[in-house]
Amino acid sequence: MPAPSASPSLLARGALGFWFLGLGALGLLRGAMRAFRHGAFAADGTTWIWLIGSALLADYGAWAVLRAWRSGRTRAD
């Protein structure tokens, strides 16, 4: 067993952030596939909502991972 004083890994601390980041990336890919379906970029209202929501989800995931990474760093005194 690990020592009780060991801090959790970045993967454990930022699991939800990684989840949101992955979902946002997949959503952006899906939105881009829908927007470029007929050649040139042609996004309707549904596609724009999909792309904006996916971008916000990916941004939140990146912010959560960065926050988890910062919380795990130790300061050198």
Instruction: Show pLDDT as tens, one digit a residue, over the chain (77 residues).
Output: 655 667 788 888 889 999 999 999 999 999 999 999 988 988 889 999 999 999 999 999 999 999 999 887 765 54
Spatial separation of the C-alpha atoms in residues 62 and 54, rounded to whole Å: 12
pLDDT (0 to 100) of residue 5: 65
pLDDT (0 to 100) of residue 2: 58
Classify residue 37 by its DSSP letter: T
Contact 48, 28 (CB under 8 A): no
